[in-house]
Structure 1
Amino acid sequence: MDKKFAIINRDKIMKKKLNILGVANANVSGAALIIGDKTVSAISEERLSRKKNDRCFPINSINYVLSNSNLDISDIDFICCGCWKGLDVPEYVETVVKDAITYFKNDPASEKIVIDKIRVSAERDEFFKNELVDGLTNMGFDSSKIFMYDHHTSHAYTAFYASQFEESLVFTLDGRGDFKSGTVWLASRDSGLQLIDSINMLDSLGVFYGYITKFLGFKPNRHEGKILGLAARGNYETVLPIVSRMINYENGRLIGKIGDNFTAWNTGSIPSIENELKTHSREDIAAATQYWLEELTLKYITPIVQKYNIKNISLAGGVFANVVLNQRLIEIDGVENIYVFPHMGDGGNALGGAMIKAVEEGVNLEYPMKDAYLGPSFDNSEIESVLEKHSKELYYENVSNQKMKLAAELIHEGKIVGWFQGRMEYGPRALGTRSILARATDSSINDSLNNRLSRTEFMPFAPVTMKEHAKAYYIDWKPEHFCSNFMTITYNCTDLAKSKTPATVHVDGTARPQIIDKGTNPEYYGVVEEYYKISGIPSIINTSFNNHEEPILCKPEDAVRSILLRNVDVMFIGDFLVKVNE
């Protein structure tokens, strides 16, 4: 089978800038817009609907990206969905049916599990595909302009085309999408992406991790970060023999264990496994699950890195939201650098679909994607009109260019500061435009601030650190580690970091920093810089500006509601300093 896919079309002559709308409604729905060679807007529906992980038809997201560029529906050249392509029959025969011979081993029960899973998945995917197409045509989009692209191909395009690399190996891993749970690609700016391997949905590391997330009482596809936080507090050794029965690495392949140990892939419950797990602490279960995820991923990826001798790897898919795993990957012999797409989960596939079409049409996409500030922004007049409605409850004043210094002083005093500035971030991380900021000098803030925000977290808050000082705080950090701009990797902390910013250091001695320079976000950088002038510490806490189980704030109305709930002591929104009247 020829595994070449979407080689760049150098022969097409661009007569005008194309307007390409990307949409998706997999686990998280949203929209993105590429104009010419540049991504100009992108957003997840949850930010506008205020429903966490909203996967409904992304009408609000579509309306936002269009209005932000003053475009009408008729101005859009292509509408591209980064999921629901369906079965690629030759590839499916190769990766699923061939593997099924290994699975079945004359076992009718296993055969039924596989057949049922494929049938249910196909029916489910068709439902969401039709929902998306119907929604688009009902809005007035021309159905002949709608294109469906493969889920993992969309992940791969975001991983490479948003990266800084000229060439790269690309890996995607998640729960499942279009009947796969992973892919591997060779990528270059000159020749595009070439598929070299895929993992079928029955051998899913994402489902494995999500199953344990659910077993421990959390929500899969949402709370995997809690498992990661718990893992550092446990011992993996006693539980490893149990979880390793669920999925393994054999003969160069990831193999999900069908039968008694595999029914979770179909029913969501494995009684024999669960009865054994119940005798162990949640910390040890999490530790074994995290350890096994790391080991299996490295067993799969390392030989591929060695075979192709390519020093850069690009990553997307929900599994790569696991920042500790990403640290292990950059430590592989032969790997010099990694990039993780900031919206690594399914929400990023709205942009992925648009990227595929852009490349097919001969567009040389601008790279790297310098920042993730692709959402809505609000000017002072819009903000003030919202504040005026709450003038009895709130005190506010325009502090203009003093806000960075004032914010730093308040942080140094121990205040919890809301920071709402500029365009909202695209992806699950708050990166300094919808953030809560605080000093990191006292680790007790992890409990007090989590209680204040009604959060149950097991990891410390993440730090934002001035780029000039990153080497002094994080072992093996390098300026070329572009992924550290987006809080997608952990580093081992130096003794200086442990002593100066203990609130951001996990029990395993790591932190998940956002490294910031002045050019990326001058005002955000300015707050940290002013704090450094006062305290001598170039790092503060940055956590998302939202309550537990709510999406990150988007609009001024969301911010006002948050401060009225006393989530923060003071808020800087636009040029305004805001407090609750006592």
Structure 2
Amino acid sequence: MNILGIHGGVTTGQHDAAAALIVDGSLVCSIEEERLIRVKTPYATLPIRSIRTCLKEGNLTINDIDLIITPGETYKDIIPRTKEWIIHHFGYSPKIESMHHQTAHIASSFFQSNFDDAMCLTYDGVGDGASGAIAKASKKKGIEIIETFPITRSLGLFYSTMTSFLGFKPNEDEYKVMGLAPYGKPNIDLSFFCKASAEGNTVDPSYWNQRKPKVTVYEPIYSSKMVEKIGKPRLGNTGLNDHYKNVAASTQHILEQCVVSNVKRLYSLTKNQNLCLAGGVALNCSANGVISKLPFIKHLFIQPASSDRGLALGCALFGAFKENEKIKPINHVFYGPKIDNKEIERSIKLTG
């Protein structure tokens, strides 16, 4: 069976379009649109070139695809809208199904982990109205969602807000905050904004910018209340003094407390020592290091493309399981298009 997982920006807030092709349970191709259009983290972009690349790698046409799966099940028109643009660009649309954004994240991690069973945690900014989810999963029964997180638990939006406050670009430069954190001291109390709790964590959304329509990544993500609490934000073209280093350290400190709280709660519910992580927050390798040292974690798998870049793969893997395909092991991350020496030679000649 030929299953195509896709993710694309049918709204201006969606980013990281991609496509992934699974044929008879084997991953043939998985690629992000940004690799083909040369724009990092593109917003409001459909995976048109990604789909063409997957079809080419599989030696298939769109008519050979049995099923397309996309996130966005909470969008009432996601299936007819997707069918419409697929027909517009490819002349034909196979059957289309939708699934939940957070379930796609979990599928992208668990079905790639090679674990027989695991507890699963995904956390990001927001997708399909949720900011994360916890689940238990097995190769026999699939994914069972235990709970989805409301936006008032969004660790992704917490970290992105602080990224914006520090003068960096949210949804892209969070790694800079993580990298800056060791140079400061976690001596700024950010618990007014985000803190660990019995249910995992809580976030006060009044500290991020709530203007409508939703602000872009080039506008301040933080609200005026944040400035009142911890002072002026850093201008992006200025240096980094001790205060901003301490803000970064305190942001990372709070995040680590919250992710540990969520993992501990998940373990109390499942008692499973295998953990699969996904979602944009799972790209925070410093927090992942803290998780890996928890005494009850025996095996840890982190989706290499944990952010929305991995949603298309999660959709394809979920579809393969749903259709009773035997999913073959995914042992590396090199599933982009093959380039032969003649093509390289042509490119060299073209550029002189």
Interval containing the TM-score (normalised by the shorter chain): 0.7 to 0.9
Report the secondary structure of 1:228's partner residue: helix
CA distance in 2, matches of 1:291, 1:133: 44
Asked whether 1:274 is paired with 2:227, we answer yes
2:5 aligned residue (22, 36, 61): 22
How many residues in Structure 1 have an aligned counterpart in Structure 2? 330
How many angstroms does 1:306 deviate by?
3.6
What is the one-letter code of the residue matched to 1:20?
Answer: I
Seen in structure 2, the aligned counterparts of structure 1 residues 346 and 315 have a Cα distance that, compared at 3 Å, is: same
2:64 aligned residue (67, 70, 75): 75
Name the structure 2 match of 1:348: 310
CA distance in 1, matches of 2:271, 2:100: 27
8 Å contact from structure 1 (residues 306, 334) kept in 2 = no
How many angstroms does 1:187 deviate by?
1.0
How many angstroms does 1:168 deviate by?
0.7
Name the structure 1 match of 2:342: 381
How many angstroms does 1:172 deviate by?
0.4
Unaligned regions of 5+ residues in structure 2, if any? Answer: 9-13, 216-220, 233-241
Seen in structure 2, the aligned counterparts of structure 1 residues 133 and 222 have a Cα distance that, compared at 3 Å, is: farther
Structure with higher Rg: it is 1
CA distance in 1, matches of 2:77, 2:97: 16
Deviations 1:393-433 (A, max 9, x none): xxxxxxxxxxxxxxxxxxxxxxxxxxxxxxxxxxxxxxxxx
Seen in structure 2, the aligned counterparts of structure 1 residues 228 and 127 have a Cα distance that, compared at 3 Å, is: farther
8 Å contact from structure 1 (residues 174, 206) kept in 2 = yes
Name the structure 2 match of 1:159: 109
Name the structure 2 match of 1:372: 333
CA distance in 1, matches of 2:33, 2:350: 26
Name the structure 1 match of 2:259: 297
Name the structure 2 match of 1:414: none
How many angstroms does 1:262 deviate by?
5.5
How many angstroms does 1:389 deviate by?
3.4
Name the structure 2 match of 1:39: 27
User: Using CA pairs below 8 Å that are at least 6 residues apart, which structure has the higher relative contact order?
Assistant: 2
Counterparts of 1:31-430 in structure 2, within 5 Å, are 31-55=19-43, 56-81=45-70, 83-86=71-74, 132-140=82-90, 143=93, 145-237=95-187, 239=188, 241=189, 243-259=190-206, 261=207, 268-278=221-231, 281-367=243-329, 369-391=330-352
8 Å contact from structure 2 (residues 200, 259) kept in 1 = no
Report the secondary structure of 1:170's partner residue: strand
How many angstroms does 1:336 deviate by?
1.1
CA distance in 2, matches of 1:187, 1:275: 44
Deviations 1:455-498 (A, max 9, x none): xxxxxxxxxxxxxxxxxxxxxxxxxxxxxxxxxxxxxxxxxxxx
Seen in structure 2, the aligned counterparts of structure 1 residues 163 and 141 have a Cα distance that, compared at 3 Å, is: farther
Seen in structure 2, the aligned counterparts of structure 1 residues 33 and 141 have a Cα distance that, compared at 3 Å, is: farther
- RMSD, aligned CA: 2.1
What is the one-letter code of the residue matched to 1:389?
Answer: L
8 Å contact from structure 1 (residues 22, 79) kept in 2 = yes
Deviates more, 1:68-77 or 1:244-253: 244-253
Q: Percent identity?
A: 30
What is the one-letter code of the residue matched to 1:73?
Answer: I
How many angstroms does 1:140 deviate by?
4.0
Unaligned regions of 5+ residues in structure 1, if any? Answer: 1-17, 87-124, 392-582
How many angstroms does 1:376 deviate by?
1.6
CA distance in 2, matches of 1:135, 1:51: 21
CA distance in 2, matches of 1:130, 1:46: 25
